[in-house]
Amino acid sequence: MRSNKFVDSWIREMAEMTRPDKIVWIDGSEEQANALRAEAVSTGEMIKLNEEKLPNCYLHRTAINDVARVEGRTFICTPTKEEAGNINNWKDPKEMYAILKRLYTGSMKGKTMYVIPYSMGVVGSEFSKIGIELTDSIYVVLNMLIMTRAGAPVMEALGDSPDFVKGLHAVADCDEENRYITHFPQDNTIMSVNSAYGGNVLLGKKCFALRIASYLGRKEGWMAEHMLILGVEYPNGDVKYVTAAFPSACGKTNLAMLIPPEMYRKKGYKVWTVGDDIAWLRVNKKDGKLYAMNPENGFFGVAPGTNSHSNPNALATTMRDTIFTNVCHNLDDNTVWWEGLNDNPPTNAINWKGEKWDYRTYNKADKVNTSGAHPNSRFTASAKNCPCLSGEFDSPTGVPISAIIFGGRRAKTAPLVYQSFNWQHGTFVGSIMASETTAAAAGAVGVVRRDPMAMRPFVGYNMGDYWQHWLDMGKAIAHAPKIFHVNWFRTDDEGHFIWPGFGDNFRVLLWILDRCEDKVDAVETAIGYVPKAEDINIEGMNDITVDTIRDLLSVDRGAWLEDIGNIEEFYAQVGDHVPATLKEELAALKARLAD
């Protein structure tokens, strides 16, 4: 493999600290991946699943205390606290490096350090970025081989350049108290220790492609966003692309892989998936449009709830070459199961903790302890196996975006869909995005968590400056996408969802795209443009009438005015860096609501 003196000297430095027994470079070959799979199976780190039913699939269990991203232990380490802002945890870089040095020292003794050269985006594209992850976990290596383009070609693309993101990961003792997921944007460096759970250790994903990349994007004039990318194909063959940002647990992977209702399929409509989680957005100088590319190469999706109704495409994607993490193991046929897959829980099974599991003990109020699969159990699946993968997936420049969609989970406030007045107002709409906890999830109903642009845990610098960057980008895009907000989760007085969601969300996507082409009118309201009820096509829907749509589109001024107080508190928390323009947008919304 081609060497690079900057990479070599950094590896030497990291190896002197962590003291691995040996260092192995990941070349991306199938032979090496096979050998690593065999080794992981021999040590019990992974279980090989039924080769006939789930070819090349494996099951892995993380430690019981290590099953999710840890926002409380995730740090942005910039020279000043102000750069990281009030929403991020901050530590002085020198202080953090000292803490980490203590934890890393000797942590790889008796182990192998794997060197993973990887590219976020197609190898060699001018829009891609290169990272090197050092890790002592085979599980991480095998996941990175699915989630990124990794191996020898990346070192060729890097050539003699010093321009790569350094990532060091050590499982160490997997000690919660000393778990750190740290980012040093000025040093292009990520350091993660005492975890082996995906979101904390697959450093190309949230750490690089969102936190470090958002910092780089601001510096270099582009955007790294927590967004899916999908294409809607019309019967005449035209494809229009949208990106969409939703907080966790709002169905992002499902929307990315949506199957249109039958009546649309018969006419020739299709949806193509470009990405399900992250979008890198750049202005194309030739046509002045915003283009989106997915820097990842696979899907790290939540398993529970994935089934042949909610997401048949995701299910099909996981049928081969997949690593399942913390799902339930069906011993009868050596396959996997999770809550919501079907109504046939296995009777001879091992739960996510590795214990014998009796499905009859399942209690919805205590899912973590009684379910077969952990609520945050995952599949790591290759994009190439997705039946609806876009032909543009490997495009080095990405796809032109017509609309940006923000979404949240709101019982009453947000209508099914509305359009912002312009980019500046759309940035405001993104900045006030929020989700409410549901009774099923948390007991306390309606607790609002503000999650601007679904980036609350992922902005690598000050949230106020990030909003300013959005405003600046709007000025740099000659033909900017229109910005919308959707809410699939409005409930009736009994707390039932009114809108069926899933494939029927396609109907809303079509209205959005019609608006982008000026093909349909809208009603101007205090919050933005709302569809005329009869413009959402309900043909073929069972329980939905035009009156239901009218209800779903109504703007409840009382609820909005109440929400304003919560937004003001959040803006105060973000602090001095909130752009004046957004404060003006907030004041203008308040005035329009009071009118």
Nearer to ligand OXD, 209 or 530 (CB): 209
Nearer to ligand OXD, 4 or 435 (CB): 435
| Cα–Cα distance, 213 to 293 (Å, whole number) | 13
Give the shortest CB-302-to-ligand OXD separation in angstroms.
7
Residue 465's Cα: distance from chain center in Å? Answer: 21
CB atoms within 10 A of CB 286: 7
- Tell me which DSSP letter residue 364 carries: G
526 neighbors 593 (Cβ within 8 angstroms) = yes
| Cα–Cα distance, 165 to 317 (Å, whole number) | 30
- The residues binding ligand OXD (CB under 6 A) are 69, 199, 248, 277, 300
| Cα–Cα distance, 346 to 329 (Å, whole number) | 8
Quick one: how many helices (H) and strands (E) in the chain? 19, 31
Nearer to ligand OXD, 252 or 507 (CB): 252
| Cα–Cα distance, 9 to 539 (Å, whole number) | 64
271 neighbors 230 (Cβ within 8 angstroms) = yes
37 neighbors 126 (Cβ within 8 angstroms) = no
Structure-token match 């796809």, residue found: 399
**Nearest C-alpha neighbor of 280 from the set 298, 262, 293, 271:** 293
Residue 199 contacts which entry, ligand OXD, Mn ion, none (Cβ below 5-8 A, type-dependent)? ligand OXD
374 neighbors 368 (Cβ within 8 angstroms) = yes
Looking at residue 367, its amino acid is K
User: Could you tell me where the beta strands, DSSP code E, fall in 35-111?
Assistant: 47-48, 58-60, 74-76, 89-90
Structure-token match 């699969």, residue found: 373
Assigned token pair, 241: 């692309």
Give the shortest CB-251-to-ligand OXD separation in angstroms.
12
Nearer to Mn ion, 40 or 76 (CB): 76
| Cα–Cα distance, 445 to 134 (Å, whole number) | 43
1 neighbors 27 (Cβ within 8 angstroms) = yes
Give the shortest CB-460-to-Mn ion separation in angstroms.
15
Nearer to ligand OXD, 33 or 405 (CB): 405
Give the shortest CB-300-to-ligand OXD separation in angstroms.
6
Assigned token pair, 290: 């915003």
Nearer to ligand OXD, 189 or 376 (CB): 376
Tell how strand 112-120 and strand 22-25 pair up.
parallel
Of 77, 174, 207, 250, which is the active-site residue? Answer: 250
Nearer to ligand OXD, 74 or 413 (CB): 74
> By CB under 5 A, what part of segment 251-290 binds Mn ion?
277
Structure-token match 């009796």, residue found: 358
Give the shortest CB-455-to-ligand OXD separation in angstroms.
10
Structure-token match 């081989």, residue found: 145
Known active-site residue 207: no
| Cα–Cα distance, 435 to 329 (Å, whole number) | 32
119 neighbors 130 (Cβ within 8 angstroms) = yes
Nearer to Mn ion, 40 or 213 (CB): 213
Residue 515 contacts which entry, Mn ion, ligand OXD, none (Cβ below 5-8 A, type-dependent)? none
Nearer to ligand OXD, 78 or 200 (CB): 200
Give the shortest CB-205-to-Mn ion separation in angstroms.
8
Residue 437 contacts which entry, ligand OXD, Mn ion, none (Cβ below 5-8 A, type-dependent)? none
Give the shortest CB-323-to-ligand OXD separation in angstroms.
14
Give the shortest CB-69-to-ligand OXD separation in angstroms.
6
Handedness of CA 328, 144, 69, 468 (dihedral sign): negative
169 neighbors 133 (Cβ within 8 angstroms) = yes
Give the shortest CB-474-to-Mn ion separation in angstroms.
24
Residues that bind Mn ion (CB under 5 A): 277
Which residues participate in catalysis according to the annotation?
250
